[in-house]
Structure 1
Amino acid sequence: MPDHLTVVKHPLVQHKLSIMREKETSTAVFRQLLKEISLLLAYEVTRDLSMTTKTIETPLTTMEAPILAGRKLALISILRAGNGLLDGMLELIPSARVGFVGLYRDEETLKPVQYYFKVPELMGERTVIAVDPMLATGNSSAAAIDLLKEAGATDIRFLCLLAAPEGVARMKEAHPDVPIVTAALDEKLNEKGYIVPGLGDAGDRMFGTK
């Protein structure tokens, strides 16, 4: 297992992912499971956030209580499928700032093409979590991280539902400083750049499009 990759083996994560993989799973159920699984993955990707303390009053006494340090997190959705992970994460971290990177994959070249970019200010002072359900070729993810670094981000993590070995290798080559958290490292990519066994196109399954 690559040292920059964390695969979340929690039983609830694995169970929910298995249902999502089934081709008969409906759009509504797929969307709900993605929201639930993103909550669980969010616990893992935020495990080592910086902490500080503040003085608070409990009903019984005064204490130094642990709280998150620094500026609010930035959650960056890689459109459009990233929005499925974003919803669940915002339930866990409602105060997070949110940004969007719009990329689509050119079906001929498999290279990413940018069409939208809007992120919070002061990116260099925030922990940034980029989310996209599928880490396939890694080209779009690497391009999105390029843009985030250009915007000033230095503390970046990448969260995905499924990863292919090719995508993990591409990300390590392009951004060795960005840890990856995923629910599964699948077998390979097929000739069309889809993850196998995978779950098909996450955006199509989430939004009911073909």
Structure 2
Amino acid sequence: MTQPHLTIVQHPLVQHKLTIMRDKNTSTAGFRRLLREISLLLAYEVTRELDLTTTTIETPVCQMEAPTLEGKKLALISILRAGNGLMDGILELIPAARVGFIGLYRDPETLQPVKYYSKVPADLDLRMVIAVDPMLATGNSSVAAIDLLKEAGAKNLRFLCLLAAPEGVARMRDAHPDVPIFTAALDERLDDHGYIVPGLGDAGDRMFGTK
């Protein structure tokens, strides 16, 4: 399902894998594997509009003009720590992508993001930039990450997540209406602690086996 600013990837394999990930009985190893697999499927959708040009090649039969990606390689930006789980799968599909990291944590009292690390590729203004984080909850960390990327020069941005809450989508839309969101599901709401409902718990904890 596609709405202005929001694309929900409803492919049957995406939805099936997401259901298993939501199950609290799914193991850490299983969760990690499924996150890598589902990120591959989501990556197909978020890269659908990559620019193409042509190049001349020789097949075993003849010469032809064949499609190839145009411009600088895209940049993947992981919003630490849970973003690494999505990025690993996308890199299997696009191994030549440049990679950056933005470290943010959510203050448990204010729910506001606090930056502790940032290192991104050069020439972001010449690349499609895909920021990845499994959960779009309050949207505060995502907005802060996009703010940092725009300050670094990024102009062609996408945000990829596994789950989104309506509150987070609205926050992103208000702050960055030019950044489309791609997700596997739009859930019901946030609870009083800022967690997505029904959600799947804390993606970082489930991926790394921490609490």
Q: TM-score, normalised by structure 1?
A: 0.99
- In structure 1, list runs of 5 or more residues that go unmatched: none
Task: Report the identity percentage.
Answer: 78
Report deviation, 1:100: 0.2
- Secondary structure at 1:141's aligned position in 2? helix
Corresponding position of 1:185: 186
CA displacement 1:117-141 (0-9 Å, x = unmatched): 0000000000000000000000000
Report deviation, 1:161: 0.1
CA distance in 2, matches of 1:28, 1:168: 29
The one-letter code of the counterpart of 2:58 is E
CA distance in 1, matches of 2:71, 2:140: 31
CA distance in 1, matches of 2:121, 2:169: 27
Report deviation, 1:189: 0.2
CA distance in 1, matches of 2:3, 2:137: 16
- In structure 2, list runs of 5 or more residues that go unmatched: none
CA distance in 1, matches of 2:107, 2:203: 17
CA distance in 2, matches of 1:62, 1:151: 42
CA distance in 1, matches of 2:181, 2:59: 38
Given the alignment of the two structures, is residue 141 of structure 1 paired with residue 142 of structure 2, yes or no? yes
Corresponding position of 2:11: 10
Report deviation, 1:209: 0.1
Q: TM-score, normalised by structure 2?
A: 0.99
CA displacement 1:145-191 (0-9 Å, x = unmatched): 00000000000000000000000000000000000000000000000
Aligned ranges 1:114-153 → 2 under 5 Å: 114-153=115-154
| RMSD of Structure 2 on Structure 1 (CA) | 0.6
Aligned ranges 1:160-179 → 2 under 5 Å: 160-179=161-180
The one-letter code of the counterpart of 2:132 is V
Given the alignment of the two structures, is residue 54 of structure 1 paired with residue 46 of structure 2, yes or no? no
Corresponding position of 1:108: 109
CA distance in 1, matches of 2:82, 2:48: 24
The one-letter code of the counterpart of 1:119 is V
- Aligned length in residues: 210
